[in-house]
Amino acid sequence: MSTVTETKPAPPRAAKRQASVLFDAPGPKARMRHNILTLISAIVILAIIYVVVARFDKEGQLQGKLWKPFIEVSTWSDYILPGIGGTLKAALAGAVLALLFGVLFGLGRMSDHRWIRIPAGAVVEFFRAIPLLILIFFVFSGPPTIANALNREFPEVTAFTALVISLMLYNGSVLAEIFRAGINAVPRGQSEAAYAIGLRKSGVMRLILIPQATTAMMPAIVSQLVVLLKDSALGWIISYEDLLNTGYRQIPTQYGNLIPAAIVIALIYIAMNLALSYLATWLEKRSRRSRKSAAKPIDVSTVPGAGLTGEAPGMPSA
């Protein structure tokens, strides 16, 4: 006698949602309420955008003649492209030095020797706690001021040098914590197995821990590099010729188009950051396909100071 197996219909999509400890999956009424609130919020945001655009239009900030400079070749060749070059040059130099600084002091914080571990930790905590804007001011004007007070001569610190050193010290300190967290994310059994086959600590770090930790650290590292790129905009405060300086200060001075210049420069910054984030995602996926790692990706929010800028880059007055 054959038995007929009754097939039950698949549970609805909402029933598959797993409720977490702090948040239960919303029911039909809650979802309806959320949709209504989302619609109201969208209407309010659109109304605010309309009021802002109408206000700009009333003040004459959206006239075609104010946008015309951005379709002229001379504006891009004389202002925007040199500014982008200055921004990328400072960001690239700061990123390379910050990565080297982070590796050096991150490994130093994990040293078995107290005379290395304690000073490395003090340096990382000190520079991570200083607002980046204050650090830029000090690197740019501090050494010459101190030298003059001591009646000593000190070579002039250029704006590029001051900005790069400041980006290295601040972001390198955060990257040091990311490197330390990435290496600690590798399960302890990996290093124990390496020690069991006779590897020394340097070999364990170089052959076992760092290759696996690199994959786990990639999202957090590139997230901090995006922050570094945005932090480079603070160079305008010491008159460094970056995109913010040439695009937001010099163009409005030349053409009187403050709002259009701010919109265009903001879009360029957003495009550069999105491109860097896309590159990070591509590298992270490729590294995971080509390398097996027992370490889980690092959550940026768990690393103190990661993903946070030292100071919000304000806009200079025209």
pLDDT band at 164 (very low <50, low <70, confident <90, very high): very high
DSSP state of 303: S
CA distance 87 to 81: 10
For the cut 50, the answer to whether the pLDDT of residue 312 exceeds it is no
**pLDDT at site 89:** 94
Q: How far apart are CA 106 and CA 217, in angstroms?
A: 13
Q: Which of 40-49, 164-173, 236-245 has the lowest mean pLDDT?
A: 236-245
Q: Looking at residue 289, what is its pLDDT?
A: 65
What pLDDT was estimated at residue 300? 54
DSSP state of 12: P
Amino acid, single-letter form, for residue 37: L
| Residue bearing the bigger pLDDT, 87 or 218 | 87
Which CA distances in Å does 167 have to 23, 95, 102, 108, 160?
Answer: 39, 8, 12, 20, 11
CB atoms within 10 A of CB 258: 18
pLDDT at 262 over 90: no
Q: What confidence category does residue 90 fall into, taking pLDDT thresholds of 50, 70 and 90?
A: very high
Structure tokens at 158: 């250029």
Alpha-carbon gap, residue 184 to 172, rounded angstroms: 18
For residues 11 and 17, give the distance between their C-alpha atoms in angstroms, rounded to a whole number. Answer: 10
Contact 240, 90 (CB under 8 A): yes
Listed ranges 139-143, 225-229, 291-295; the one with the highest mean pLDDT: 225-229
Q: From CA 254, how far away is CA 263, in angstroms rounded?
A: 16
Tokens 């790069």 belong to residue = 164
pLDDT of 19 over the 50 cut? no
Q: How far is Cα 191 from Cα 82, in angstroms, rounded to an integer?
A: 49
* Rounded-to-integer distance, Cα 60 and Cα 120, Å: 55
The answer to which of 109-118, 154-163, 304-313 has the lowest mean pLDDT is 304-313
Contacts of 297 (CB under 8 A, 6+ apart): 215, 216, 218, 219, 220, 284
Rounded CA separation 59/225 (Å): 38
Of the chain, the end-to-end C-alpha distance in Å amounts to 90
What is the pLDDT confidence band of residue 165, given thresholds at 50, 70 and 90?
very high
Average model confidence (pLDDT) for the chain? 80
Query: In the predicted model, what is the mean pLDDT of residues 219-232?
Result: 87
All domains of the chain, ordered by start, with CATH? Answer: 59-302 (1.10.3720.10)
Read off the pLDDT of residues 270-291 as tens digits, 9 standing for 90 and up: 998 888 888 877 876 776 665 5
Which residues, other chains included, contact 220 with Cβ-Cβ below 8 Å and sequence gap of 6+?
A: 178, 181, 182, 297, 298, 299, 300, 303, 306, 307
Residue 104 has pLDDT above 80, yes or no: yes
- Number of helices followed by number of strands (H, E) in the chain: 13, 0
pLDDT at 315 over 50: no
Query: Quick one: pLDDT at residue 248?
Result: 82
Going by pLDDT thresholds of 50, 70 and 90, the confidence category of residue 295 is low
Q: Which of 23-37, 84-98, 287-301 has the highest mean pLDDT?
A: 84-98
CA distance 145 to 154: 9
Please state which of the ranges 14-28, 97-111, 176-190 shows the lowest mean pLDDT.
Answer: 14-28
Quote the pLDDT of residue 310: 46
pLDDT score recorded for residue 46: 93
Residue 198 tokens read as 């006779």
